[in-house]
Amino acid sequence: MREFGTILDLVKRHRVAFLIGPIFVLLTNGLRIVAPELVQFAIDFIGAEGEEPSLAGRAVLGMADTFGITHESATIITLTAATILVAALCQGVFQFFMRYVMIGASRRVEFDLRQRVFDHLQTLPPSAFESMRIGDVMTRSTSDIESIRMCVGPAIMYLTNTLTILPLCLVMMFLKNPTLALFAMIPLALLTLAIRLIMPRMYKHSREVQEQMSAISTHAQENFSGVRVVKAFHREQYEIDGFRKLNGEYVRANLRLAWSRGLVNGVINVCAGAGVALVLWLGGRDIVRGDFTLGKFIAFNQYQLMLLWPMIAMGWVLSLLQRGVASMERINEILAIEPAIRNESSASSEPIRGAIEFRGFSFSYGETPLLQNIDLSIPAGHTVAIVGRTGSGKSTLVSVLPRLLEVPRHRVFIDGREIHDIPLEQLRSSIGMVPQDTFLFSDTVRNNIAFGRPDATDDEVREAARIAGIDDAIDELPNGYEQMIGERGVNLSGGQKQRLAIARAIVKDPAILILDDCLSAVDTETEERILAGLRPKMRGRTCVVVAHRVSTIKDADRIVVIDEGTIVEEGSHDELVAANGIYAEIERRQKLEDELERFG
């Protein structure tokens, strides 16, 4: 199966377990065939059939001679029963290690594969997730990987068991009665043909089930994340109906899969029953004619019955294999996504000071150009503000610096070094960024602030919270800095989330600080308090501030105005107001809005 090419290297890591496991399977099944031979010997010995004892029977008689035991029927039967018991105990021990080794190995493969998928997802840029459904990614990272584990664990174990017990039993059956064994194989041949015809349908239905589960997970995830929007627009019933439709299709997909499984199991049971009836009819006639001893017939029948469970289990195994193939195909689709942003340099270099330069930089999303011929130089330690109308490309420009977006070579430089030549780890660890879309994790307040620097002390965390103007709000929480935050900070206001994000960037103590419109959700008074605390921290480090409010950026060393993807104005606050251009228009409009708000 070519879909499992990805997992072969993971299996190789645990090759010892996957090699030892089949040995225990072989030992287990080797002991299983001992019991029928001993039963045959005991029955024929009691009936004095005059048959030459089987190998197992000769072993029992040899033990009797070794211990000086007479060949009386009762004594030999007792010794035979004891031998069967010992063989069963040994078989149980080997079966335990068979399961422990092979199932344990599948769990380790599951761990490695899940880690590999997560690691790969971490290498993808944020833009890659814009085309993914998060619920679908979650299903592939959990349910699909579990299906693969079942495939390389229980499915392979039972398949190996079938492939070992089948030839062993068939050999013993042919040794006892070749003609009867040939007739007993007819149902097996028919079963193989039927399964071959049903397997493609089972694969198709398994794939449908997994994809429908992804659709359900996506629908639920979006509703839980957007629960406030759903309630605000009174769309609860619409979403309930949508979920009911998806849930119903999931049930129907599972029923189609159950139909395929049931068909396989039904065919297996019919073939198994036909085989037993055929052997009983033909074997019984041979016994009546004296061509077959009762002991041989019972042993033959036991071997045939041993084949029934592997035949029945084969339907389940095939279902697991088909689900595993479908799931591996879905996992491969994720692993096949090439990271658009690669770490092109692993060599350590001198610490970043923070000088930034854009040289003829242009950027576009698809066919639409967003930024064109941007030439901008920011000396280390300076604060530069970027303003402009909505959609002018301000956030895109600052997202380039930590390489959240990939850019052409020889267009962006930091400290005179081409940005691609700086290791990603060093580049991103030297930048503290507060994005427009604030994200908080379902963790404590403290851990959210110290996210970029887990080794930060409590005093450093508290100081960062004070500078960000969030310390008073944290102290009012029931558990203070140990208070758990709801998913995405749902139990905090927009302004509180922004201030926590600012504190997170401050505690990182970066060489370059990027504030992307991070004060939009706070009032003017709070903004002034935050800026007063930030100014000492902004000295001596490069700061790039994207803002809509003029009050946020008027103290910057330089202000850059972007309009329709190009820099149209550049200078200090006073210079740009005097120039009476776009910046001056923005400033006048905001003053008017403030006046209206004050008197409104």
What span, in angstroms and rounded, lies between the C-alpha atoms of 355 and 511?
10
**Residue 350 CA: distances (Å) to CA of 250, 316, 356, 423:** 56, 59, 15, 11
Any residues with CB less than 8 A from the CB of 156 and at least 6 apart, and which?
Answer: 102, 106
Binning the chain into helix, strand and coil, the percentages to the nearest 5 are 70, 10, 20
pLDDT range class, residue 269, cuts 50, 70, 90: confident
What span, in angstroms and rounded, lies between the C-alpha atoms of 92 and 420?
60
Per-residue model confidence (pLDDT) at position 310: 76
Q: H or E element: which one contains 528?
A: helix 524-538
Torsion angle of C-alpha atoms 68, 74, 78, 81, degrees rounded to 10: 130
The H-assigned helical ranges of 124-177 are: 134-139, 145-150, 156-176
The three-class DSSP label of residue 580 is coil
pLDDT range class, residue 540, cuts 50, 70, 90: confident
What span, in angstroms and rounded, lies between the C-alpha atoms of 371 and 89?
76
Q: Looking at residues 262-274, what average pLDDT do you find?
A: 80
Per-residue model confidence (pLDDT) at position 597: 63
Q: Which of 9-23, 72-86, 515-529 has the highest mean pLDDT?
A: 9-23
What span, in angstroms and rounded, lies between the C-alpha atoms of 595 and 600?
8
Any residues with CB less than 8 A from the CB of 194 and at least 6 apart, and which?
Answer: 264, 267, 271
Percentage of residues in the chain having pLDDT higher than 70: 91
Whole-structure pTM value: 0.73
pLDDT range class, residue 389, cuts 50, 70, 90: confident
What span, in angstroms and rounded, lies between the C-alpha atoms of 553 and 283?
97
**Residue 520 CA: distances (Å) to CA of 15, 148, 299, 377, 401:** 56, 47, 84, 26, 22
- For the domain made up of 2-335, give the CATH fold: ABC transporter transmembrane region fold (1.20.1560)
What span, in angstroms and rounded, lies between the C-alpha atoms of 546 and 552?
9
Torsion angle of C-alpha atoms 334, 339, 345, 349, degrees rounded to 10: -90
The string of DSSP letters for 14-70 reads: THHHHHHHHHHHHHHHHHHTHHHHHHHHHHHHHHT--PPP-HHHHHHHHHHHHTT--
- Helix axis angle for 494-507 and 458-467, nearest 10°, is 130
Per-residue model confidence (pLDDT) at position 209: 85
Any residues with CB less than 8 A from the CB of 528 and at least 6 apart, and which?
Answer: 551
pLDDT range class, residue 571, cuts 50, 70, 90: very high
pLDDT beyond 90 at 52: no
Distance of CA 378 to the CA centre of its chain: 41
310-341 tens-digit pLDDT: 776 777 787 788 788 888 888 888 888 888 77
Per-residue model confidence (pLDDT) at position 488: 65
Lowest mean pLDDT among 44-48, 421-425, 474-478, 538-542: 44-48
> Domain map of the chain by residue range?
2-335, 356-599
Per-residue model confidence (pLDDT) at position 47: 60
Q: Which CATH class is domain 356-599?
A: alpha beta
Q: Looking at residues 221-246, what average pLDDT do you find?
A: 79
Per-residue model confidence (pLDDT) at position 20: 93
Per-residue model confidence (pLDDT) at position 9: 78
What span, in angstroms and rounded, lies between the C-alpha atoms of 588 and 583?
9
Per-residue model confidence (pLDDT) at position 96: 94
The three-class DSSP label of residue 491 is coil
DSSP 152: I
Per-residue model confidence (pLDDT) at position 358: 94
